Amino acid sequence: MKVYLRCIVLMCLQFSALSLMGQRFSLVQENDSLSFVVLESGEHVDRWQLPYEVYRFCTGDIDGNGTDEALVGVVKSTRFYPSSARRIFVFKNHRGHIRPMWLGSKLGGELIDFRLNGNRVRSFERAPDGSYFVAEYQWRSFGLKFEHYVVKAETKEKAKEIFNQ
């Protein structure tokens, strides 16, 4: 019993030390269609393989818990959307290990790009009618929830300009 309790205490101390030392997500690209999300927490390093083309990588606290998550834009098909398109994956640090929070299949329109705007995801998308829009999404327990349009029914150039502001 004493040995078991010591192990639990040691594991808790190790996790606390990792939390105090901070964390850092990064992306390592091996080639066009193979990348790794890397999490460094203290002396511990974890990697998550992404066998897809990656078009965007950023980090930020999108769920408001005080620690950064990694957002990765990948190009892939999904079960419900079989054509290859841009998607957003969100990863978190769970006790020093990378865990997916959301492996998104689709937002509102055809995703062209995204970035973080505070704790919101700002997207640049194409509507079914061929016009372009910029929208903001906020994290809600599981996935990104539409908040509002920044601009809609615009030309590609104008929407891109607004997206980049």
CA 75 to chain centre: 13
In angstroms, the CA 131 to CA 86 distance is 17
Residue 105: predicted pLDDT: 86
DSSP state of 159: H
Q: How many domains does the chain have?
A: 2
Contact 115, 96 (CB under 8 A): no
- Assess whether 82 and 60 both reside in one domain: yes
Residue 142: predicted pLDDT: 85
What are 16-35's pLDDT values in tens digits? 334 434 899 999 999 999 99
Residue 22: predicted pLDDT: 85
Amino acid at 43: E
- Those residues of the chain that have pLDDT short of 50 are 1-21
For 158, the token pair is 């104008």
Contact 135, 149 (CB under 8 A): yes
* Residue 94 structural domain: 24-105
Domain-located, residue 152: yes
Residue 43: predicted pLDDT: 87
pTM: 0.84
Contact 18, 41 (CB under 8 A): yes
- Assess whether 117 and 44 both reside in one domain: no
Nearest-5° Cα angle at 71, 67 to 72: 150
- Assess whether 93 and 30 both reside in one domain: yes
Residue 134: predicted pLDDT: 98
- Assess whether 99 and 129 both reside in one domain: no
What are 141-165's pLDDT values in tens digits? 889 999 999 999 999 999 999 999 9
- Assess whether 96 and 116 both reside in one domain: no
Residue 15: predicted pLDDT: 38
